[in-house]
Amino acid sequence: MSLRAPLPLSLVIPALALSLAGCKHEPGTTPLDAELYQLALNSSGHVWYKNSDELLPRSTGSGHSEAFLRTRYNAIAATALDTLYRVVADTAFPPGSLIVKELWSDASTIGTYAILLKRPDAEAADADGWVWGYLRANGEVRAPAIDRGAACRTCHMQDGEIDATLMNQYFPE
């Protein structure tokens, strides 16, 4: 049995630092972004805006590049919809609300998920309690949730918004 002398810290610390430097999170694998992605993939129990899963053409006020979209709401968010499945004017979505806007590159390809999750106690929540997710269809992060919707809020806070949503404004009929 041979005993080896421990490696000096001057060798261990740089080796550890080098190994950690190579350990990077892949896009979409941060815990919150990964959770938002999984929520976007599961449409069970959701309802569509105006009760239709039809793809809508990109609106003139959209900051998104994809040609089509459709928006769905989980059961909690659906409590803020009227009988025609439009957002009730001057409403605030309750905590636990999930809104997923699917942005389609063409009629057969989802390009991006834009996600709003009302979770006021989350570290990444904005002042209104929303956690913003912006992820490609493969899970790659386009804008991290920790940015609190910085890339999205300019458009989503325009006149006519209802608790950061714009479907009623751009698709009223």
pLDDT number for residue 156: 93
CA dihedral (120, 125, 127, 132) positive or negative: negative
- The pLDDT of residue 22 is 34
CB 55 within 8 A of CB 68: yes
Number of C-beta neighbours around residue 90 at 10 A: 7
Residue 23, pLDDT score: 33
DSSP string of 67-97, one letter each residue = SEEEEEE-TTGGGGB-TTS-BPTT--PPTT-
Q: Please, are residues 108 and 130 in contact by the beta-carbon 8 Å criterion?
A: no
Q: Closest Cα to residue 147, out of 135, 160, 159, 163?
A: 135
CB–CB of 66/82 below 8 Å? no
For position 13, what pLDDT does the model report? 41
Residue by residue, pLDDT tens for the chain (173 residues) are 444 444 444 443 444 333 333 333 444 457 999 999 999 999 999 999 999 999 999 998 889 999 999 999 999 999 999 999 999 999 999 999 999 999 999 999 999 999 999 999 999 999 999 999 999 999 999 999 999 999 898 899 999 999 999 999 999 98
Q: What is the pTM of this model?
A: 0.83
* Predicted pLDDT at 28: 44
CATH class of 25-170: alpha beta
Delimit the domains of the chain by residue range.
Answer: 25-170
Give the separation between CA 33 and CA 86, rounded to whole angstroms.
Answer: 27
Residue 60 confidence (pLDDT) = 86
Whole-angstrom Cα Rg for the chain: 21
Taking every pair of C-alpha atoms in the chain, what is the biggest distance, in angstroms? 82
∠ CA 166-132-72, rounded to 5°: 50
